[in-house]
């Protein structure tokens, strides 16, 4: 028995010695490690979750050293992927804030170790909002048997549901929106037969609202809160969906009619305005300026219903804005078209203004207003001081880059992209520094990096929030069949 024990220790010694010796004598390569997710040379917030990753070449063992100023801060080992301890990661980012961390990757393949060229991760002093909210849905958007609105803690890997559609007759839940990033002031829409309505959650109180009024053909969609919290702008759209037979695009959504309406929250009324009721134009996708004085939106010349969807490629939405008086709830009789040379000829979607009011982020595509399946869809940023554009080459890809949101400090943008496989939209983040430069984006970190590939759901309408939504899905579900509040109409 003693001999067996002695032999076991001898074998263990040689195994450990050979492994350590393998790292020390690893062959140097001239290439960078081919890792997934690609976190090479990205800028990250000081409070982001660990950036776990793996090798894409089939390496069966890994070791990663995180180095700063020649000092090794952290070593991590793993099989096929690196799992970074949360506490050690947080400590390292705190100490390295405002500087680069050098990342050195060792990997073993076919029994041989290699050490790759070192890459950097820049740790920005600027933090990111602690939570995001999004919808998880099948990528075709035509199936919603299993979907929900979720929230994710960006400093770790905690994901919890806000509402699941199994609690809403398996109906579609969508159009979630938060007032000034506040998790205790939100709304979302349900399309169920018995649970239909817009659900408003304000400081612990839930209400069910009918946003369809006598003059509106449909309920309100694409909601955005006025900074005061007293108004919510919607578009009232009649939309259709069609499928391409030969095109590289899969699905096309298009309008048959579309107007803008504004919900006066305090007076339980829907404001309809002559600027947005013409049959000659379609207005959609509203967005308020941070000072509340301007309503931005997208507008296209309206087409005859009989010509759709055959005229889809001729439908192009321009970028417009109109002045708003929050004291009276009235729009001024001036409508401005924003002429931006770089995007001339493109169709504009999803206008979003930075918290300081200076920058406007949009999605551009060749045509239409729903560019999720448009490979050519890109993000563009406009400096509203002189209507110039910011170089977004570091962010855009060969696949659809679409829905986007600003962090509350204006230093981070979040957007959805199909760049990994062309099918599923996943969430990416990019640093927009104080000099006006946009940095290489990084994929939402996951505890298991392969989760980004294994999850057969698309991330939809991501929004930043400053904290966790605390109302439970079950409490929300109890409101879904409650009394519905009808809105009066105000015509200006």
Q: Domain boundary at 124, 157, 185, which? A: 124
pLDDT higher than threshold 60 for residue 300: yes
pLDDT higher than threshold 50 for residue 144: yes
Residues 79-136: tens digit of each pLDDT: 999 999 999 999 999 999 999 999 999 999 998 999 999 999 999 999 999 999 999 9
Domain shared by 108 and 141, yes or no = no
pLDDT of residue 145: 64
Q: Domain boundary at 61, 94, 124, which? A: 124
Residue 13 lies in a domain: no
Higher pLDDT, residue 302 or 17: 302
Domain shared by 422 and 291, yes or no = yes
Strand partners, 349: 363
Domain shared by 302 and 437, yes or no = yes
Domain shared by 95 and 158, yes or no = no
Residues 428-451: tens digit of each pLDDT: 999 999 999 999 999 999 999 999
Residue whose C-alpha is closest to residue 85's, from 66, 70, 101, 102: 66
pLDDT higher than threshold 50 for residue 12: no
Binning pLDDT at 50, 70 and 90, where does residue 246 land? low
Strand partners, 383: 359, 388
pLDDT of residue 379: 98
Domain shared by 385 and 282, yes or no = yes
Rounded to the nearest integer, the mean pLDDT of the chain is 89
Domain shared by 119 and 155, yes or no = no
Residues 373-410: tens digit of each pLDDT: 899 999 999 999 999 999 999 999 999 999 999 999 99
Residue 9 lies in a domain: no
Residue 101 lies in a domain: yes
Higher pLDDT, residue 457 or 333: 457
Residue 87, domain CATH: 2.60.40.10
Residue 391 lies in a domain: yes
What are the phi and psi torsion angles at 302 (to 5°)?
-75, 145
Weakest-pLDDT range from 142-146, 199-203, 254-258, 444-448: 142-146
Residue 8 lies in a domain: no
pLDDT higher than threshold 70 for residue 335: yes
| Residue range of the domain that includes 54 | 30-124
Domains of the chain: total: 2
Domain shared by 161 and 72, yes or no = no
pLDDT higher than threshold 50 for residue 15: no
Residue whose C-alpha is closest to residue 321's, from 342, 341, 343, 338: 338
Residue 282, domain CATH: 2.120.10.30
* Residue count of the chain: 492
Alpha carbons 323 and 135: distance in angstroms, whole number: 32
Domain shared by 150 and 64, yes or no = no
pLDDT of residue 51: 97
pLDDT of residue 134: 97
Residue 22 lies in a domain: no
Binning pLDDT at 50, 70 and 90, where does residue 19 land? very low
Domain shared by 119 and 203, yes or no = no
pLDDT of residue 194: 72
Higher pLDDT, residue 7 or 452: 452
Higher pLDDT, residue 222 or 66: 66
Residue 212 lies in a domain: yes
Domain shared by 189 and 271, yes or no = yes
Residues 443-472: tens digit of each pLDDT: 999 999 999 899 989 999 999 999 999 988
pLDDT of residue 178: 96
Binning pLDDT at 50, 70 and 90, where does residue 322 land? very high
Domain shared by 106 and 168, yes or no = no
Domain shared by 250 and 116, yes or no = no
pLDDT higher than threshold 50 for residue 418: yes
317-328 average pLDDT score? 94
CB atoms near residue 385 (< 10 Å): 9
Q: Domain boundary at 92, 124, 156, which? A: 124
Residue 14 lies in a domain: no
């Amino acid at each position: 028995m003693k001999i067996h024990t002695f032999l076991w220790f001898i074998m263990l010694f040689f195994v450990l010695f050979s492994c350590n010796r393998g790292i020390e004598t690893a062959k140097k390569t001239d290439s960078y490690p081919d890792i997934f997710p690609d976190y090479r040379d990205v800028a990250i917030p000081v409070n982001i979750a660990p950036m776990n990753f793996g090798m894409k070449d089939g390496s069966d063992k890994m070791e990663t050293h995180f180095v700063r100023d020649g000092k090794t801060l952290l070593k991590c080992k793993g099989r096929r992927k690196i799992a970074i301890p949360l506490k050690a990661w947080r400590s390292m980012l705190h100490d390295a804030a405002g500087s680069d961390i050098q990342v050195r990757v060792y990997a073993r393949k076919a029994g041989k170790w290699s050490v790759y060229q070192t890459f950097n991760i820049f740790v920005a002093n600027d933090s990111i909002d602690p939570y995001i909210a999004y919808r998880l849905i099948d990528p075709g958007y035509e199936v919603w048997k299993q979907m929900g609105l979720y929230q994710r803690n960006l400093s770790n890997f905690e994901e919890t549901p806000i509402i699941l559609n199994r609690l809403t007759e398996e109906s579609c839940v969508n159009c979630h929106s938060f007032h000034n990033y506040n998790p205790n002031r939100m709304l979302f829409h349900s399309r169920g037969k018995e649970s239909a309505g817009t659900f408003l959650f304000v400081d612990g109180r839930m209400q069910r609202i009918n946003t369809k009024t006598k003059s509106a053909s449909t309920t309100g969609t694409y909601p955005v809160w006025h900074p005061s919290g007293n108004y919510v702008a919607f578009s009232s759209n009649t939309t259709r969906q069609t499928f391409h037979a030969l095109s590289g695009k899969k699905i096309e959504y298009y309008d048959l009619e579309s107007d803008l309406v504004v919900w006066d929250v305090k007076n339980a009324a829907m404001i309809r305005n002559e600027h947005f009721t013409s049959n000659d134009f379609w207005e959609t996708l509203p967005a308020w300026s941070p000072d509340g004085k301007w309503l931005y939106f997208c507008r296209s010349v309206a087409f005859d219903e009989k010509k759709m969807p055959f005229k889809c490629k001729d439908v192009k939405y321009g970028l417009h804005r109109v002045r708003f008086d929050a004291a009276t709830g009235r729009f001024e009789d001036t409508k401005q078209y924003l002429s931006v040379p770089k995007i001339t000829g493109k169709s504009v979607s999803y206008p979003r203004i930075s918290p300081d009011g200076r920058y406007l982020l949009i999605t551009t595509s060749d045509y239409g207003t729903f560019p999720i399946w448009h490979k050519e869809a890109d993000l563009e940023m406009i400096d509203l001081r002189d209507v110039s554009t910011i170089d977004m080459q570091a962010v855009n890809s060969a696949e659809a880059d679409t829905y986007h949101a600003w962090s509350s400090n204006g230093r981070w943008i979040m957007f959805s992209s199909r760049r990994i496989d062309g099918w599923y939209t996943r969430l990416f983040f990019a640093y927009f520094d104080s000099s006006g430069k946009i940095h290489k984006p990084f994929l939402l970190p996951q505890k298991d990096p392969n989760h980004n590939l294994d999850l057969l759901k698309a991330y939809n309408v991501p929004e930043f929030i400053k904290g966790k939504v605390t109302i439970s899905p079950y409490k929300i579900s109890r409101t879904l069949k409650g009394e519905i509040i009808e809105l009066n109409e105000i015509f200006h």
